[in-house]
Amino acid sequence: MFGRRKTKGAAEGAAGEAEQVVDSVDTEADEVEGERVRLEPEPRPDGPWDDSEVRDPSEGRVDLGGLFVPGIDGMELRVEVAGDAIVAATVVLRDSAIQLQAFAAPKREGIWGEVREEIGSGITQQGGIVDEVEGPLGWELRAQVPVQLPDGTGGFQVVRFVGVDGPRWFLRGVISGQGAVQPQAAGMLEQIFRDTVVVRGEGPMAPRDPIVLKLPNDAQMVPEGVQQEESSRFSGGMGQLQRGPEITEVR
């Protein structure tokens, strides 16, 4: 910040004009910044889809209520809970995985830009490294997240955060395993993300509230070691990286 000192005559007039110019530039910058983070959702010609855009969401997909997740041969599907609610699903395919979580969003404003900033800030504050790049699914974060290794020493886990704004919803994906480091291993996970259908519902929801999921009707539960997530609202915290051990379906 620059301090201002009162002057006389022409110098005072010149300073006043300069201040007006600076104020104008600052205002324009704020407006540009505001537009950047509050843009309307972009078109999604390749998905993910709103349930109003798909004739039969259940065709070839697993019905989780708030999400219809594509079924792939050999995949393992897990759900994650917060309290008594199921709020995320993870598809495990060989040595890669993608966590899917949908949130309510404003009708005409996308939130992925703001969410990326929050995720990046949270990771860097914990000593991680984050790069914002434009990938196959649009703008994403590629991060090295601090973790504790099995031998007790510290290390890093490489993950990709992807996201897409839809009509009144936002879908986030977290790609881990080989899919986060090898492009050829990520193709099927990226296609799962694109072909997921989000069911927002018509009821009122606060922005960023998670869209609650349900178990499939034919789910086979494995109760051993079931854990529960503590946080039910998206905040960019590291707890959102964890994958729950509750297996719901194996294809």
The DSSP 8-state label assigned to residue 233 in this structure reads S
What pLDDT score does 38 carry? 59
Quote the pTM value.
0.74
Q: What is the pLDDT of residues 20-76, one digit of tens each?
A: 433 443 434 334 444 444 567 777 778 899 999 999 999 999 999 999 999 988 899
Q: In the numeric block, which tokens belong to residue 183?
A: 């492009």
**pLDDT at position 251 over 90:** no
Pick 49-250's CATH classification: 3.30.1460, 3.30.300, 3.40.1620, 3.40.1000.
3.40.1000
Q: Is omega for the bond preceding 48 within 30 degrees of 0, making it cis?
A: yes
Q: pLDDT tens for residues 166-219?
A: 999 999 999 999 999 998 889 999 999 999 999 998 889 999 999 999 988 766
The domain ranges of the chain are: 7-37, 49-250
Q: Say if residues 171 and 51 touch (Cβ distance below 8 Å).
A: no
Identity of the residue numbered 205: M
* Of the candidates 46, 52, 97, 54, the residue with the CA atom closest to the CA atom of residue 72: 97
Average pLDDT over residues 214-236: 51
**What region does 47 belong to: left with phi over 0, alpha with psi -120 to 50, or beta?**
left
Query: Measured between alpha carbons, how far is 196 from 103 in angstroms, rounded to an integer?
Result: 14
3-state SS assignment for residue 59: coil
In this structure, how many other beta carbons lie within 10 angstroms of the beta carbon of residue 112?
23
How far lies 236's CA from each of 30, 109, 240, in Å? Answer: 24, 19, 7
